[in-house]
Amino acid sequence: MHEGELLVLNGRIADHGPSLGAPEGVEIIEAEGAVLCPGLVDLRAAIGEPGYEYRETIAAAAEAAAAGGITTLAVLPETQPVIDDPALVRFIRARGEETGSLTLLPYAAATRGLAGRELAEYGLLQAAGAVAFTDGARQIASSRIMRLALAYAAGFGARIVQHPEDAGLAQSGAATAGARATWMGLPGIPAAAEAIGVARDIRLAALTGGAVHFAHVSTGEALDLIRAAKEQGLNITCDTAPPYFDLTETAIGDYRTYAKLSPPLRGEADRQAVVAALRDGTVDAIASDHQPRDADDKRLPFADAAPGGAGLATLLAVTLARVQNGDLTLPQALALLTLRPAAWLGIEAGALARGRPADLCLFHPEKSWQVQAGKLPGKAQNTPFDGRALEGVVLGTWKAGRRVFGA
C-alpha cells in the first residue's frame, strides 16, 4: 500500500500518484490512516425484489451495499418470478441504475424456473445482459442436464455457476453431519456431499469443454479437487464466503438459526483449508453470499428455519480479520474483493486505474465496531456474525465519483 492522492473528474479516475496537487475548485477529502480501494465487487448475492420484498428491496440492498463499500453486485435469479426471461434481466439492470449507487449484474437461471429439467434460453438471456447461468442455491442435480448446460453455455462463452452439493445427500439436512449435529439432534449433511458434487461437475466440464464456477466452497476436500482441476488447465473457478473462513459449526451453538447457512458451517479443519485456498490463489473471489431472510423465516425450529445469512455490510470487515491475524496480506484480501471478481465478470471495475469509473471505497483498517443484528444498514438483519467484534470501518463509498455513503 502506498501513500498518495487520487483525482476524480467527471466520474472517472483522472490521475493518481504520490503528490498530484489538486486543480483549483476541486473538493479535497483528507483521509490519513485510511485505505482507498476500488469499490467492492460482490460476486454472489440474493436480493428479495422482485417477489420477496418483505425480506428485502433493491433500495434496501443498495443501502447495505453502500455502507459495506460495495459498488457492484452480481444478483442470483432466485426471485419471483425467476430471472429466466430477458425482460427480467433488463429490469434488474435498470433497477440497479436507478439506485445511483450500485451496479446490479444479474445471473440468469440455468434451467427454466430453477426446476432443473429444461435449459433456459442462454443466448437471449446473455444478449439482455446476464453475466452467467445458475440455479442459485439449488444444485443442477441431473448429470444429463448439467452436461447439456455446460455444452450449451460454452457455445456462448458463458459459465455455469453451481451450488456444489449432491442434492440427494443434502436433502432435508440442517447441519454438517458429525458429532455436533448428532448431539443437537439435527439431520446431517455429509461434508463429502460437496466434494461429490464438485467431482462430478469437474468431470463434466472436462467432457464438454465447458466452464463451471463453484459457489461458496466450504470444504478442504472440494478445494483439493478444484486445485487439481485448475492445474490440469480445466476451465474451473470458485468463490467462498466469509462464514466459511471465519466461523465453524460451533456458531450454531444454542440452535442459532442466524448461523444456519447453505452449505452448512463446517469444522475447524475445513475452515483452515478455506483460508489456505484463499492464500494460494485456488479461490478466485470472496463473495458475500448475501441471503436476506425475514424474522419469520428464522424464528422456527433450527431444522425448519430457512438457511442463509445477510452479508453485505460485513463482507469487508470479516475479510480484513484474515489480514489482521496474518493469514492474508492486505493486497491479497482486497484483490479477492475487487480486481479478481471484476476480471471474472469481465467488467471495467475493481482497479484504481486512470480512465476507470471512480467506484471507490474508503475504509479505516484499525477502527473497530461490533456487529449487531437489528442495527445493520438495510432491511436484512439475519447476520451469522451477530455479536462479532470487527476491525475495519467503511468511511465513504463513491459510485462514478458521487459519494453514496459517508459524511
Instruction: State the catalytic residues.
Output: 289
Find the Cα–Cα–Cα–Cα dihedral 9, 395, 314, 351, rounded to 10°: 30
* DSSP H stretches of helix in 12-73: 58-67
CA 167 centroid distance within chain: 21
User: Residue 400 region, left (φ>0) first, then alpha (ψ -120 to 50), else beta?
Assistant: left
Q: How many residues does the chain have?
A: 407
Residue type (1 letter), 307:
P
CB 335 within 8 A of CB 266: no
Residue type (1 letter), 223:
L
* DSSP H stretches of helix in 129-284: 143-154, 167-170, 179-184, 192-208, 220-231, 242-246, 268-280
**What does 66-99 look like in DSSP terms, one character per residue?**
HHTTEEEEEE-S-SSS-S-SHHHHHHHHHHHHHH
DSSP run (H or E) holding 336: helix 330-337
